[in-house]
């Protein structure tokens, strides 16, 4: 999970892992824009070998829920 | 499955054209509300720096005509009889007649010429090459010109930051000719119409004819403006499609052609954005130098033109020295995608010019001048 928060922060323009928690609702982040979204897709693919779809990102709310979903797809 | 291995023809010349007017993303940052941080990310991740856009009133037909004239003018007069003219575009002048017929008229070609449009976006160049090679193989066609041209800058809302900074305008003409003892070329083509909504310009044709409703503007959560008739792209869906299907399709093409990726000189991918190109390259374990990405930052995403534009700019000097064994791969609206394995010989005609040409007529025709000197 720590590692995922780190990866998630890398997808944003200026956030650190400490700014995020597993309960963060990612779509409500001020930095959640199309570029962050595409960066996250690419980083998840690169790190976990899981190709998320736009639907997957809409379906989940929190960083934890997204992380757990990624674990089931690995 | 439409996989074909054809020994019929070869690419013999290329000429690409881009509008003279340059739009720099940095100059638009204030208008688009981009922070310097966001601009830097767009440069470094998507690779977007600048793009070319047509002046009001200039169409894909005008650019396509300039590209075709650039190609034909470089040929000996005796080699200018064309049997087949294919125009790949999603931004035609009219619903009817097709751009290919319009261009045929403008060029004053002989009546003994088949001409038609192909309504495809970023996969269109691959489909066009496949058609030209197939129709030459079928007999009766000796010399084909494949034009790819789009003006996507005219399809997007200028204040839609999800698409407006991305798309540029350009055209390219390719000569494909029956030659004695041609090399094998192979093609692999795919479609997934279930993804039709993910890149769509829904208004203005016959399902949703031009109307006041089509002009109605909406503003999304990020402040992007869009009319119903404008080009809309679901970035996430398209991204996922773009990094999964092209590598699969290239692997399938190579297996079918019984050729390893190592023996291929260059892999020219549709120049969607830098992110996507690098991701595909990594999935195929390709050395970055085998995957040119230079047209993104200079021209943006230019639809079906991006592959031949890359051949005439990034790869111009290598094609002048030629030959190159190239894998080409296009993917986009439809969803439609495909790949081609072609052996391009040393090209004398591999030029690039701007539209309209400058008054002195010199700087705009660099490519031609270089090719004439060879």
The pLDDT tens digits of the residues spanning B30-73 come to 999 888 888 988 898 889 999 999 999 999 999 999 999 999 99
Residue B360 confidence (pLDDT) above 80: no
What's residue B368's pLDDT?
Answer: 44
pLDDT band at residue A10 using 50, 70 and 90 as cut-offs: confident
Q: A57: which chain B residues are within 8 Å (Cβ-Cβ)?
A: 236
B103 neighbors B65 (Cβ within 8 angstroms) = yes
For residues B9-29, average pLDDT: 96
Q: Is the pLDDT of residue B372 over 60?
A: no
- Tell me how close the Cα of B234 comes to any Cα of chain A, in angstroms: 8
Q: Which residues of B touch A37 (CB under 8 A)?
A: 235-236
Helix (H) or strand (E) holding B37: helix B36-41
- The one catalytic residue among B99, B161, B273, B301: B301
Give B116-132 pLDDT, tens digit per residue: 999 999 999 999 999 99
CA distance B240 to chain A (A): 6
Probe site for chain A from B236, B248, B274 (most A CB atoms < 10 A): B236
A24 vs B: CB within 8 A: no
pLDDT at B272 > cutoff 90: yes
Give the chain B residue nearest A58 (alpha carbons): B236
CB B341 within 8 A of CB B257: yes
The reply to whether B119 belongs to the active site is no
Tokens of B78: 């005796």
> If pLDDT is split at 50, 70 and 90, which confidence band does B367 have?
very low
The second-level CATH assignment, the architecture, of B3-195+231-367 is 3-Layer(aba) Sandwich (3.40)
pLDDT at B87: 98
Cβ contact A54–B37 (<8 Å) = no
Task: Please compute the mean of the pLDDT values over residues B170-193 and round it to a whole number.
Answer: 97
| pLDDT attached to residue B228 | 92
Tell whether the model's pLDDT for residue B365 goes beyond 50. no
The arithmetic mean of pLDDT across residues A47-66, rounded, is 89
| pLDDT band per the 50, 70, 90 thresholds, residue A69 | very high
Residue A39 pLDDT grade (very low, low, confident, very high; cuts 50, 70, 90): confident
pLDDT value for A49: 86
**Test mutation, A28, A34, A50, A60, chain B, max B CBs within 10 A:** A34
To the nearest whole percent, how much of chain B has pLDDT over 90?
A: 85
* Rounded mean pLDDT, B162-184: 96
Distance CA B82, CA B274 (A): 36
Residue in B201, B222, B164 with CA at minimum distance from that of residue B332:
B201
Shortest Cα distance from A56 to chain B (angstroms)?
10
pLDDT value of position B359: 62
Q: Say what the pLDDT of residue B217 is.
A: 94
**CA–CA–CA angle B264, B270, B276 (5° rounding):** 95
Residue B374 has pLDDT above 70, yes or no: no
Chain A residues within 8 A of B166 when measuring between CB atoms: none
Q: Assess whether pLDDT exceeds 80 at residue A62.
A: yes
Per DSSP, helices labelled H in A1-74 are 2-11, 34-48, 54-59, 63-73
Per-residue model confidence as pLDDT tens digits over B216-268: 999 987 789 999 999 999 888 898 899 999 999 999 999 999 999 999 999 99
Q: Smallest Cα–Cα separation from B305: which of B267, B352, B364, B261?
A: B352
Q: What is the mean pLDDT of chain B?
A: 93
Which residues does residue B176 pair with via DSSP β-bridges, in sequence order? B11, B144
DSSP β-bridge partners for residue B330: B338
The structural domain count of chain A equals 1
What pLDDT is recorded for position B364? 43
Q: Does the beta carbon of A35 lie under 8 angstroms from any beta carbon of chain B?
A: yes
In this prediction, residues B68-89 reach a mean pLDDT of 94
pLDDT of residue B370: 42
CATH number, residue A19: 1.10.1200.10
Mean predicted confidence (pLDDT) in A62-72: 94
What was the pLDDT predicted at A41?
87
- Answer whether residue A33 shows pLDDT above 50: yes
Q: Which candidate, B318, B332, B106, places its Cα nearest to that of B239? A: B332
pLDDT at B12: 96
Least confident residue range of A31-45, B164-178, B285-299, B329-343? A31-45
What letter would DSSP give residue B44? I
Q: What is the pLDDT of residue B369?
A: 42
What is the span of the domain harbouring residue A38? 2-73
Count other C-beta atoms under 10 Å from residue A73's C-beta: 12
Regarding pTM above 0.80, the answer is yes
**B301 has catalytic annotation:** yes
CA-based Rg of chain B, rounded to a whole angstrom?
20
pLDDT band for position B152 (cuts 50, 70, 90) = very high
Q: Residues 44 to 83 of B: which have CB under 8 A from any A CB?
A: 45-46
């Amino acid at each position: 999970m720590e590692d995922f928060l780190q990866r998630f922060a890398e997808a944003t323009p200026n956030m650190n892992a400490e700014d995020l928690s597993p309960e963060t609702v990612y779509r409500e982040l001020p930095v959640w824009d199309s570029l962050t979204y595409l960066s996250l897709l690419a980083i998840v693919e690169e790190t976990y070998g899981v190709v998320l779809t736009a639907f997957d990102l809409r379906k989940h709310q929190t960083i934890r829920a997204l992380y757990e979903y990624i674990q089931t797809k690995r | 499955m439409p996989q074909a291995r054809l020994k019929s023809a070869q690419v013999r010349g290329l000429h690409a054209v881009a509008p003279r007017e340059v739009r720099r993303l940095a100059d638009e940052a204030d208008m688009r509300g981009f922070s310097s941080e966001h601009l830097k990310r767009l440069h470094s991740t998507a690779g977007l720096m600048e793009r070319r856009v047509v002046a009001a009133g200039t169409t894909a037909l005008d650019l396509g005509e300039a590209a075709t004239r650039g190609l034909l003018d470089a040929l000996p007069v005796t080699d200018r009889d064309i049997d087949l003219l294919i125009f790949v575009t999603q931004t035609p002048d009219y619903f009817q007649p097709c751009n290919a017929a319009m261009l045929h008229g403008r060029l004053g070609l002989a009546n003994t010429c088949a001409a038609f449009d192909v309504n495809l976006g970023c996969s269109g160049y691959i489909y066009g090459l496949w058609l030209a090679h197939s129709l030459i193989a079928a007999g009766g066609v000796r010399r084909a010109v494949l034009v790819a041209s789009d003006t996507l800058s005219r399809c997007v809302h200028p204040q839609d930051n999800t698409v407006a900074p991305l798309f540029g305008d350009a055209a390219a003409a390719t000569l494909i000719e029956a030659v004695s003892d041609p090399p094998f070329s192979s093609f692999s083509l795919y479609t997934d119409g279930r993804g039709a909504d993910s890149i769509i310009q829904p208004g203005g044709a016959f399902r949703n004819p031009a109307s006041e409703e089509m002009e109605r503007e909406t503003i999304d959560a990020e402040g992007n403006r869009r009319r119903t008739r404008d080009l809309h792209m679901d970035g996430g869906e398209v991204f996922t499609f773009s990094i999964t299907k092209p590598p699969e399709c290239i692997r399938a093409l190579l297996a079918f052609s019984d050729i390893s990726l190592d023996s291929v000189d260059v892999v020219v991918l549709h120049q969607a954005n830098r992110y996507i190109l690098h991701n595909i390259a990594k999935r195929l374990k390709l050395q970055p130098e085998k995957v040119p990405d230079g047209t993104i930052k200079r021209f943006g995403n230019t639809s079906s033109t991006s592959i031949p534009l890359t051949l005439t700019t990034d790869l111009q000097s290598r094609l002048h020295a030629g030959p190159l064994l190239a894998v080409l791969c296009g993917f986009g609206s439809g969803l439609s995608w495909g790949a081609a394995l072609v052996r391009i010989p040393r090209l004398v005609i591999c030029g690039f010019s701007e539209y309209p040409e400058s008054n002195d007529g010199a700087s705009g025709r660099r490519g031609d001048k270089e090719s004439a000197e060879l």
